[in-house]
Amino acid sequence: KNQVEQSPQSLIILEGKNCTLQCNYTVSPFSNLRWYKQDTGRGPVSLTIMTFSENTKSNGRYTATLDADTKQSSLHITASQLSDSASYICVVSYVSGGGADGLTFGKGTHLIIQP
């Protein structure tokens, strides 16, 4: 069964600190892995997308890593800002054959940045 597990479920850190969010998956055949940021009351917004051959990808202060062997990904946030407070959702895409790639969503990590 395709599954995406994210940890921690929630996290509170002080402004300016770094943090790392984890995503473990059992999805196959793997196509790509995306991280989305979802602000409260808004739709998710794509941060990064990585294919099998990509180990790391950065988007400003966000850096995502992917280890396709262990089926793990992390999202590292550097020098956190209050605006980083949001839910971060890991989404793994699998090849479904004819039609769109299937998507398996994690439940997200709820991150709170405190001043």
Partner 1 sequence: GAGVSQSPSNKVTEKGKDVELRCDPISGHTALYWYRQSLGQGLEFLIYFQGNSAPDKSGLPSDRFSAERTGGSVSTLTIQRTQQEDSAVYLCASSLGSNGQGSIQYFGAGTRLSVL
Rounded to a whole number of angstroms, the minimum distance from the CB of residue 61 to partner 1 is: 20
Rounded to a whole number of angstroms, the minimum distance from the CB of residue 114 to partner 1 is: 22
CA distance 107 to 96: 21
Q: Is 11 in the site for partner 1 (CB under 8 A)?
A: no
- Phi, psi dihedral angles at 105 (to 5 degrees): -100, 140
Q: Is 24 in the site for partner 1 (CB under 8 A)?
A: no
Of positions 69, 83, 99, 115, contacts partner 1 by CB under 8 A = 99
Residue from 105, 95, 33 nearest 64 by CA:
33
Q: Cβ contacts of residue 17 below 8 Å, gap of 6+?
A: 79, 80
Give the interface with partner 1 as residue ranges (CB under 8 A).
Answer: 31-32, 34, 36, 41-46, 49, 51, 89, 93, 95, 98-101, 103, 105-108
